[in-house]
Amino acid sequence: MNENRKYPFPEIDSDICKGCALCVASCPKDVLVISEKLNSKGFHYSEYVGDGCIGCGNCYYVCPEPSAVTVYMKNYVPEEVS
Amino acid sequence: MIMAQKTVLRKPKGFIDVYRHKPGAEKDRTHYCPGCGHGIIHKLIAEALEDFDIVEKTIIISPVGCSVFAYYYFHTGNLQVPHGRAPAVATSVSRANPDSVVISYQGDGDLAAIGGNNILQAANRGENMVVFFVNNAIYGMTGGQMAPTTLEGQITTTTPYGRNVKTDGYPIQVCEIINQLTAPVYVVRTSLHDMPNIRKTRAAVRKAVLNARDKKGFSFVEILSMCPSGWKMDSVPAQNWIKENMIPRFPLDTFRDISEDTPAIERPVPVMDPDEVKKILGYSVLSDSNFEKNPDAALEKVALRVAGFGGQGIMSAGIALANVGMEYGYNVSWLPSYGPEMRGGTANCSVKIQEDTIGASECTEPNLVIAMNQPSLEKFEKILVPEGTLIYNTTLINIEPSRGDIKVYPIPITGIADELGDTRVQSMVNVGAFAAVTGMFDPGEIENLMSFLFKGKPESVIKLNEKAVRKGYEYVKENFS
Amino acid sequence: MPRKLMKGNHAAVYGAILAGCKAYYGYPITPASEIAESASALFPKFGRTFLQAESEVAAINMVYGAAGCGQRVLTGSSGPGISLKQEGLSYCAASALPCVVIDIMRGGPGLGNIGPEQSDYNQVIKGGGHGNYKVIVLAPNSAQEMCDLTMLAFELADKYRNPVFVLTDGVIGQMMEVVELPEPVTELPDKSEWAIYGTADSRHLINSIYLDHDDLEQWNRELMKKYAIIQKNEVRVEEYRMDDAEIVAIGYGSSSRVLRSAIGIARERGIKLGMLRPITLFPFPVDEIAELADRGLKGILTVEMSDGQLVDDVNLALSGKMISDLHNRMGGNVPTALEICEKVSELYGV
């Protein structure tokens, strides 16, 4: 995780993502895109491009892969998780 | 915990960290296809279990279908079960562990086709469980065949020309059916077709698991879900397909929500203490008398047939004799004739009373017959052994026995009972007559057993039957000595 | 010892209670309904579960669930119901779940009738569901054994983590005899290694899927090993008048009761007839029967209420060294002692 990133933001595990694009469609700020690149399983994975996340959690709740999306909220304190 | 309070949304603790039950290398991801609704629903369940701190007390039943491997993921107790039977298994799991949260997770084929009755009956019993019914209008695991919820005209691998309602029937609306039953406390249909509805689904999932935690009974959550592979379309168009095609047939609604006003289910605590078990079984009041056998009895081994109409106390006479025999320390057996004739008006039973271990319990060659009506006399006189003994009821039998090689005791059995004021005591008249004819039992000892034989009956009934034994006994002694 | 005159079906339910059985799940069927009726009367008195399931299939799946939760659990049925339970039994065996099933056999095939028969032999003894598995089968022939062997069934089920059948017929179930009631079990086995209790430490998995072919073959081999141990350790037979027997009759359940009577008559006629009664049908008394071939017997007669299902296994055990003859009745008919004696005289010239 990039410590300098601006909260809130989603973190997408590009290897686990199956590229279904449900998160892209559900994002109210259109800040998720499907990558041109393929992951090791041959999927074009989803990516968060730059700023604009409002922490709504849509991408998290629509994602069918439990480990693919993590959303760090505005009030997230990194020390919380070891 | 409401979502606003969460500082991070990550894989919920309701899931196992590493999917160790999953074969192969990829123990960090599900087996589901891209865009499959199962993963979303799994996550909502796992999140609710974590948020309500009930992961450890939850038991999830995995069905047959795509979610057959639900047990790979949930950090709960897991049972994988036969096709359609999850509600039956969940029933006994819930009964065995009444404090646990039991979840039956099922697809449309599993729940509405092969398991149709199981879901209805578990719902009707109001079992304390949650059923998550994932309706994607198709069989996913087996490769896209017609489901009971497949829409009219929908093409599947077994409806290549589209579902024809004239031959395949109509898509089954399960919530509407469940809602016909009295017991369920929460019946709802939600959908995954957009974010507001995913959030409504989340709320329904949370309410349902809380109902189970609070022992409110049966909660049913039907979720319209995408099967992009089975429907042969991308994930986002699949969401639209739910909206445009499924929802018109499967309207989203909270059909019932009465959990607030429903008291918690209470299940009894099993009694396992051996002393308590013996007490409840009445060990201390069970038979232990050992009457002295009569060395001069006319018979020392009895193979008896008692026969007559139903209602003549045939079976009870036999059982009473076997009971008395037991108190004398004999080996005894009693076997009813059974079969269609049991309800057809005639009845007979075999009773054996002897010192040796008893072989066959049916008396195919009796040495004693008690015939209470004419058909019984005709039938059983024939199979008496030579020198055998026949007692017959002269109140109802107008013919004479035909054999000359047997001992005969004509007794007005029904008449004696009627004189005592109750035809039903015929059976005990027979017991008294038996005692006198065989010499095996003493009527005084039988009287000692009356309160045991008629346990729970009023004193007047006991006294009457005691008289009947005595009358039967005396009739034989007075008329045939 | 306290004693009580009771039906075999009733005695089996007493046995279950005494064995610490916590739940009964069943569906009515003649001639086994009395087991469900007795259980419905008795189990609630102990705060234990009685549930009349919606079907035979549901009942065995409820058994699967209860067994998975570590409970001693019972169901009872008869032929057509046992047929329906076979899938669930396969799952129970595959998932190594201990449970007890009582089968009060009736006349078949099809709807048949409700008279006594022994025609479920093959479907029960051979593991009647799909896949490679066996169930332990106990064959009581008295009300006393209905109680005792039901208790033993629970013990063996737990010992081997396997379904156990108590297999008998309508005569034994309906017959009343004196039962000396044993002491209740004082301690139940610890199943915390695998059973699910809805607690943090019992988050186990009850399952029978092995996607990997080698894994499934390995599991099948482990099951085979278990069955071999059962075969070695658990054979039970009763021998009656075998010391000087020149002709040996083989039969179980009701047939063996009639055989006892037949032996009485035969002996009066100077015919030295004895009986070998299998009490366990799986494990089948293979060695005990094989040994008969070395005795110089005049003959071996298998008596059964089925179409030669038992005599097939007898002859398999005899391995061609002798061939057993067959006397059988079906359709609800029970062989009579006289009929057996006549058959013996006719077959062996005695």
Tell me the three state secondary structure of residue B269.
coil
Q: Cβ–Cβ of C261/B362 closer than 8 Å?
A: no
Residue in chain C closest to B290 (alpha carbons) equals C3
Q: Is B179 helix (H, G, I), strand (E, B) or coil?
A: coil
Q: Are B103 and B129 in contact (CB under 8 A)?
A: yes
**Tokens matching residue B55:** 């992961």
Q: Which residues contact C14 (CB under 8 A, 6 or more apart)?
A: B281, C6, C42, C147, C179, C181
Instruction: Specify whether B253 is located in the same domain as B287.
Output: no
List the single residue in C with minimal CA-CA distance to B321.
Answer: C5
Judge whether residue C27 has pLDDT over 70.
yes
Q: Do C205 and B272 touch (CB under 8 A)?
A: no
Q: What is the mean pLDDT of residues B386-393?
A: 97
Per-residue pLDDT reduced to its tens digit, C54-74? 999 999 999 999 999 999 999
Beta-ladder partners of B354: B331
* Beta strands at C299-304 and C325-328: parallel, antiparallel or unpaired: parallel
Distance from CA of C235 to the nearest CA of B (A): 23
How do residues B78-125 score in pLDDT, each as one tens digit?
999 999 999 999 999 999 999 999 999 999 999 999 999 999 999 999
Contacts of C131 in chain B (CB under 8 A): none
The candidate with the shortest Cα–Cα distance to B35, out of A38, A43, A32, is: A43
Q: Which residue of B has its CA nearest to A9?
A: B8
Confidence of residue B481 (pLDDT cuts 50, 70, 90): confident
CB contact under 8 Å between C198 and B99, yes or no, is: yes
Is the domain of B408 the same as that of B475?
Answer: yes
Mean pLDDT computed over C36-65: 98
pLDDT of amino acid B288 = 72
pLDDT band at B338 (very low <50, low <70, confident <90, very high): low
B202 CA: distance to closest CA in chain A (Å): 9
pLDDT category of residue B52 using cuts at 50, 70 and 90: very high
B247 and B303 together in one domain = no
d(CA B334, CA B305): 10
Q: Which two tokens stand for residue B400?
A: 């004479």
| Shortest distance, CA A57 to any CA of chain B (angstroms) | 7
- B38 interface with A at CB cutoff 8 Å: yes
- B214-223, B283-292, B392-401, C236-245, range with the lowest pLDDT: B283-292
If you search the block for the tokens 């036999």, which residue do you land on?
B318
Judged on CB neighbours under 10 Å (0-12, 13-18, 19+), C36 is buried
Phi and psi angles of residue B159, each rounded to the nearest 5 degrees, phi first: -125, 65
Scan residues 45-64 of A and list those with Cβ closer than 8 Å to B: 57-58, 60-64
Are residues B288 and B143 both part of a single domain?
no
- Which residues in chain B touch residue A44, judged by CB atoms under 8 angstroms apart? none
**One CATH from 3.10.50.40, 3.20.20.70, 3.30.70.20, 3.40.50.10800 for A16-74:** 3.30.70.20
Question: What is the predicted pLDDT for the residue at B285?
Answer: 82
Angstrom distances, CA of residue C153 to CA of B403, C16, C137, C138, C280: 50, 9, 8, 7, 11
Give tens-digit pLDDT for B251-273. Answer: 999 999 999 999 999 999 999 99
Give the whole-angstrom CA distance, residue C336 versus residue C233: 34
CA of A12, closest CA in chain B: separation in Å? 11
Same domain assignment for residues B197 and B311 = no
Give percent above pLDDT 70 in chain B. 97
Q: Are C128 and C165 in contact (CB under 8 A)?
A: no
Rounded Cα distance between C271 and A73, Å, is: 94
**Interhelix angle B195-213/B37-51, nearest 10 degrees:** 50
Task: Provide the percentage of residues in chain B whose pLDDT is more than 90.
Answer: 93
What ranges in B306-410 are assigned the alpha helix state H?
Answer: 314-327, 374-381
Is the CB of residue C69 less than 8 Å from the CB of residue C211? no
Contact exists between C and B (3 or more beta carbon pairs < 8 Å): yes
Same domain, B240 and B287: no
Residues on chain B touching A21 (C-beta within 8 angstroms): 35, 234-236
Residue C184, pLDDT > 80, answer: yes
List the single residue in B93, B288, B361 with the smallest CB-CB distance to C175. Answer: B361
Going by the DSSP 8-state scheme, the letter that residue B364 receives in this structure is S
- Cross-chain residue pair A80–B7, CB shorter than 8 Å: yes
A38–B contact, CB cutoff 8 A: no
Cβ-based contacts of A73 with chain B (< 8 Å): 6-9
Average pLDDT of chain B, as a whole number: 95
Give pLDDT tens digits for B425-443: 999 999 999 999 999 999 9
Tell me how many domains chain B contains. Answer: 2
Residues of C in contact with B361 (CB under 8 A): 171, 175, 177, 257
Q: Is B155 helix (H, G, I), strand (E, B) or coil?
A: coil
Is B64 in the same domain as B120?
Answer: yes
Does B193 map to a domain?
Answer: yes
Pair B222, B122 in one domain: yes
Give the nearest partner residue to C61 out of B71, B89, B335, using CB atoms. B89
Same domain membership, residue B308 and residue B159: no
Which of A22, A32, A48, A63 to mutate: most B Cβ within 10 Å?
A22
- The answer to whether chain A touches chain C by having 3 or more C-beta pairs less than 8 angstroms apart is no
**CATH number assigned to the domain comprising residue B102:** 3.40.50.970
Rounded CA-CA distance B352/B318 in Å is 9
Q: Please state the φ and ψ torsions of residue B283, each to the nearest 5 degrees.
A: -55, -40
Distance set, CA C249 to CA C145, C158, C244 (Å): 21, 33, 13
Cite the beta strand spans of chain C per DSSP E.
Answer: 3-7, 23-26, 49-52, 73-77, 99-107, 113-116, 136-138, 163-169, 176-180, 205-206, 237-240, 247-250, 273-278, 280-282, 299-304, 325-328
Instruction: Count CA atoms within 13 Å of residue C338 on its CB side.
Output: 6
User: Would strands A44-48 and A32-38 be described as parallel, antiparallel, or unpaired?
Assistant: antiparallel
- Please report, for the domain that includes residue B436, its CATH number: 3.40.920.10
- The whole-angstrom distance between B88's CA and the closest CA on chain C is 5
Cβ of B88 and C58 within 8 Å?
Answer: yes
Q: Which residue has the higher pLDDT, B379 or B5?
A: B379
CA distances to B147, B208, B333, C1 from B288, rounded to whole Å, are 64, 56, 18, 8
**Buried-exposed string B71-104: b where 16+ CB fall within 10 A, e elsewhere:** bbbbbbbbbbbbbbbbbbbbbbbbbbbbebbbbb
Which residue in chain C has the smallest CA separation from B213? Answer: C198
Task: Please state, in angstroms and rounded to a whole number, the distance separating the CA atoms of residues C96 and C90.
Answer: 10
| Phi and psi, residue C25, nearest 5° | -125, 120
* Confidence band of B340 (pLDDT split at 50, 70, 90): low
Long-range contacts of B282-290 (CB under 8 A, 24+ apart): B283/C2, B283/C181, B284/C2, B286/C2, B286/C3, B286/C4, B286/C181, B287/B326, B287/B327, B287/B452, B287/C2, B287/C3, B287/C4, B288/C2, B288/C3, B289/B327, B289/B448, B289/B449, B290/B327, B290/B328, B290/B329
Q: Which amino acid is at B200?
A: K
| Domains of chain C, first to last | 3-233 (3.40.50.970), 237-348 (3.40.50.920)
The structure tokens 């009580």 sit at C4
Residues from chain B that touch C24, judged by Cβ atoms under 8 A, are none
Strand order through the sheet with A9-12 = A9-12, A69-72, B8-9
Mutate to test the interface with C, among B22, B89, B271, B334 (most CBs of C within 10 A): B89
Whether the ipTM is more than 0.85: the answer is yes
- How many of the other CB atoms lie within 10 Å of CB of B60? 31
As a whole number of Å, the CA-based R_g of chain B is: 35
pLDDT on residue B286: 81
Cis? peptide before C109, omega within 30° of 0: yes
**pLDDT at residue A3, rounded to an integer:** 55
B289 pLDDT tier (thresholds 50, 70, 90)? confident
Non-local (6+) Cβ contacts of C228 within 8 A are none
Q: Are residues B186 and B311 in the same domain?
A: no
Alpha-carbon B121 to chain mean position: 12
Confidence tier at B343 by pLDDT (50, 70, 90): low
Q: Which amino acid is at C277?
A: R
Task: Spell out the domain ranges in chain A.
Answer: 16-74
Residue C193 makes CB contacts below 8 A (sequence gap 6+) with none
CA distance C89 to C127: 8
Task: Find the range with the poorest average confidence among B277-286, C163-172, C199-208, C262-271.
Answer: B277-286
- Residue of chain B nearest A70, judged by CA positions: B10
C-alpha separations of B21 from A41, B16, B68, B192, C91 in Å: 21, 10, 12, 28, 18
Residue B391: helix, strand or coil by DSSP?
Answer: strand
* B9 to A73: CB separation less than 8 angstroms, yes or no: yes
Q: How many residues does chain A have?
A: 82
B83, two tokens: 């096709």
CA torsion sign for C216, C220, C222, C226 is: positive
Q: Rounded to a whole number, what is the distance in Å from the CA of B156 to chain C's nearest CA?
A: 26
DSSP secondary structure letter of residue B3: G
d(CA A19, CA A35): 9
Chains that touch B (3 or more CB pairs under 8 A): A, C
Q: What is the pLDDT of residue B1?
A: 45
Three-class secondary structure of residue B135 per DSSP: strand
At B175-212, the pLDDT tens digits run 999 999 999 999 999 999 999 999 999 999 999 999 99
Contacts of B326 (CB under 8 A, 6+ apart): B287, B332, C3, C5, C178
Which one of C18, C54, C60 makes the best mutation probe of the B interface by having the most chain B beta carbons within 10 Å? Answer: C54
Q: Kindly state the helix (H) or strand (E) to which residue C57 belongs, with its residue range.
A: helix C56-68
Q: What pLDDT, on the 0 to 100 scale, is given for residue A12?
A: 97
Q: Which of C45, C46, C54 sits opposite B117 (nearest CB)?
A: C54
- How many residue pairs from chains A and B have C-beta atoms closer than 8 A? 91
> What six digits make up the tokens of A2?
């990039």
pLDDT tens-place values along chain A, 82 residues long: 555 678 999 999 999 999 999 999 999 999 999 999 999 999 999 999 878 999 999 999 999 999 999 999 999 987 655 4
Angstrom distance (rounded) from CA C97 to CA C195: 9
Which subunits have 3 or more CB–CB pairs within 8 Å of chain C? Answer: B
**Which chain A residues have a beta carbon less than 8 Å from that of B35?**
18, 20-22, 64
Q: How far is the first Cα of chain A from the last one, in angstroms, to the nearest whole number?
A: 13
Minimal Cα–Cα distance from B290 to chain C, Å? 12
* Average of per-residue pLDDT values in chain C: 97
Chain A interface mutation, best of B8, B38, B233, highest count of A Cβ atoms under 10 Å: B8
- A70/B8 Cβ within 8 A: yes
Same structural domain, B101 and B140: yes
Domain that holds residue B353: 283-480
Mutation for testing the B interface, residue in C196, C215, C275 having most B CBs under 10 Å: C196
One domain for residues B241 and B297: no
Check if A80 contacts B (Cβ < 8 Å): yes
Give the per-residue pLDDT at B339: 47
For B15, the closest of A22, A43, A66 (CB atoms) is A66
Nearest-CA residue of chain C relative to B350? C175
Q: CB distance from B237 to chain A under 8 Å?
A: no
Q: How many CB pairs under 8 A join B and C?
A: 235
Q: Which of C177, A43, C305 is nearest to B323 (CA)?
A: C177
pLDDT reported for residue C132: 97
